[in-house]
Amino acid sequence: MSDRKPLIDRYHTFDFVNRPVIDGELDLSHGNILYLEDVSVSFDGFKALNNLSLYIEAGELRCLIGPNGAGKTTLMDVITGKTRPDSGSVFFGQTIDLLRMEEPAIAQAGICRKFQKPSVFERLTVFENLELAMKADKGVWNTLLAKINAEQKDRIDQVLETIALTALYDKQAGALSHGQKQWLEIGMLLMQEPKVMLVDEPVAGMTHQEIDRTAELLVSLKGEHSVIVVEHDMEFVRSIANKVTVLHEGSVLTEGNMDEVQNDPRVIQVYLGD
């Protein structure tokens, strides 16, 4: 259930027109960091999202599951500004209207996305990948001339420790294992100081040991970040999620912990099977 004011009242209360996103402006006073309300998206007559409403709490780790075509990718596209919905509203906190922002501005505001296939600079070292991803002025002269200061170096060291790649800081990214490349890309997102992280199928193709480490990593991020994970591996989902949202035909079918979701007859019928 939404705790936000009706749309007409919100626009009366807040002036969104040409309003910049300012550091510190994110309003989490009601506890939620994302509000998607009655969102619909159609592609050539097919409803990828159908009056979907979803609320994500600040600092939570939420897993999204559902069969192919359920709307998971489209949902992430809407949140990050890649796809504009036909109808509905999408807010970042109480006051930031994401539908009035372009993709770069949404990323700058603190919503970052990791795709299934890792995208790292393979000829650069692990350290250099993190340095390049650092949230800073990316102007040409700054990029060419800047040297990192002690505070920035400490930040990179902290992220290296978080993603368990400290010992490999000077190794070329192309020489990492698949799982290590995934962790490095998560580290690159962390360097951008995100408030929300969207992570798409993070354990596809990983070894059992890498899957366990990825679970530990994602769980360690909640609280400081809101993490939304799309995943098909049900055992992995069980290992990390307190709350699971099941999508079906572009809408939320049900939400709850993994036991509740797996025992829901509707979920068994449309997705999990028996």
The CATH number that applies at residue 36 is: 3.40.50.300
pLDDT, tens only, 110-168: 999 998 777 899 999 999 999 999 876 555 445 545 678 889 999 999 999 999 999 99
Residue ranges in 163-207 assigned as alpha helix (H)? 178-190
What pLDDT was estimated at residue 142?
56
CA separation for the pair 221, 59 (Å, rounded): 8
168: domain range? 7-272
Number of domains present in the structure of the chain: 1
Which residue in this structure is represented by tokens 């099977």?
273
In a domain, 31, yes or no: yes
In a domain, 1, yes or no: no
CB count, 10 Å around CB of 46? 9
Where does the pLDDT of residue 20 fall: very low under 50, low under 70, confident under 90, or very high at 90 and above?
very low
- Looking at residues 189-201, what average pLDDT do you find? 95
What pLDDT was estimated at residue 48?
96
Residue pair 19/32 in contact (Cβ under 8 Å)? The answer is no
What pLDDT was estimated at residue 145?
53
Task: Report the candidate in 2, 203, 229 with the shortest Cα–Cα distance to residue 117.
Answer: 203
What pLDDT was estimated at residue 45?
86
In a domain, 201, yes or no: yes
Residue 53 has pLDDT above 70, yes or no: yes
CA separation for the pair 231, 133 (Å, rounded): 25
CB count, 10 Å around CB of 127? 20
- Looking at residues 202-226, what average pLDDT do you find? 95
In a domain, 83, yes or no: yes
pLDDT, tens only, 64-117: 999 888 999 999 999 999 999 999 999 999 999 999 999 999 999 999 999 877
Q: What is the mean pLDDT of the chain?
A: 87
What pLDDT was estimated at residue 148?
82
Q: What are phi and psi of 123, to 5 degrees?
A: -90, -5
Where does the pLDDT of residue 272 fall: very low under 50, low under 70, confident under 90, or very high at 90 and above?
low
Residue 19 has pLDDT above 70, yes or no: no
In a domain, 2, yes or no: no
